[in-house]
């Protein structure tokens, strides 16, 4: 499962639907795959929120990171809050532009409330929590890359769809617009 929206400030309703509850849809589909041996879920290295230091893979579940709350039922709480916010905006006859701006701000607000820097990593973390607590007994592995850039092979090596994060620098280099990257030549670049 590598589906997801990677916009850091995506509308909260969209990010929640895709990055969090999309996991539920994948699990439902995976249960129907009779020969499935394992589910590979692609997340992000930044799901640990704004914690510092060494964070072990086998440490307590990410839902322990939710600040000040022992029972954080996002499946109900966040879904209801999103529905209430959207209903309020519709009742106010808000324009699509106002709805988009408000829902983006709402996502950032919710993420920061619980210790995540943006909507993207917050909704990806909730997706991981949902996966961990699923009762489906599916073998699964979560990989957490820092960034995903171009393809390895398909549809052809180096293919990039859209320009995010480092992609614009790579595109500029390929077009001869970026001729050097200032920095320590001994540095390791994680891409």
Tell me the per-residue pLDDT of 164-185, one tens digit each, with 9 for 90 and over: 667 777 778 888 898 887 888 8
The encoded tokens of residue 76 equal 């109900």
Give the pLDDT confidence score for residue 70 in this predicted structure: 46
163 confidence band (pLDDT: 50, 70, 90)? low
Q: How many CB atoms lie within 10 A of CB 96?
A: 8
Rounded Cα distance between 161 and 150, Å, is 8
Q: Is pLDDT larger for residue 71 or for residue 18? A: 18
159 confidence band (pLDDT: 50, 70, 90)? confident
Strand ranges inside 32-90, DSSP E = 39-42
Burial class for 17, CB neighbours closer than 10 Å (0-12, 13-18, 19+): middle
* pLDDT at residue 186 is higher than 90: no
Helix or strand (DSSP H, E) at 13: helix 12-15
Helix or strand (DSSP H, E) at 143: strand 140-143
Give the pLDDT confidence score for residue 183 in this predicted structure: 82
Least reliable range by pLDDT among 9-13, 118-122, 161-165, 183-187? 161-165
CA 27, 15, 66, 49 dihedral sign is positive
Token match 């990171």: residue? 65
* pLDDT at residue 16 is higher than 90: yes
The encoded tokens of residue 26 equal 């994948």
Q: Which positions are catalytic?
A: 120, 124
The encoded tokens of residue 107 equal 């996502």
Q: What percent of the chain has pLDDT over 90?
A: 38
């Amino acid at each position: 499962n590598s589906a997801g929206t990677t916009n850091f400030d995506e509308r909260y309703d969209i990010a929640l639907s895709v990055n969090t509850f999309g996991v539920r849809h994948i699990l439902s589909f995976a249960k129907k795959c009779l020969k499935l041996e394992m589910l590979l879920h692609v997340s992000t290295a930044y799901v640990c929120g704004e914690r510092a230091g060494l964070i072990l893979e086998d440490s307590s579940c990410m839902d322990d990171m939710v600040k000040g709350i022992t029972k954080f039922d996002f499946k109900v709480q966040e879904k209801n809050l999103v529905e209430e916010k959207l209903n309020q905006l519709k009742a106010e006859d808000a324009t699509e532009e106002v709805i988009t701006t408000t829902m983006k701000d709402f996502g950032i607000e919710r993420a920061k409330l619980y210790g995540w820097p943006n909507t993207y990593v917050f909704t990806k973390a909730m997706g991981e929590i949902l996966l961990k607590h699923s009762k489906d007994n599916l073998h699964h592995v979560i990989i957490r890359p820092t960034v995903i850039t171009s393809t390895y092979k398909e549809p052809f090596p180096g293919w990039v769809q859209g320009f995010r994060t480092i992609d614009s620098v790579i595109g500029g280099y390929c077009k001869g617009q970026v001729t050097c990257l200032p920095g320590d030549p001994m540095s390791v670049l994680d891409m």
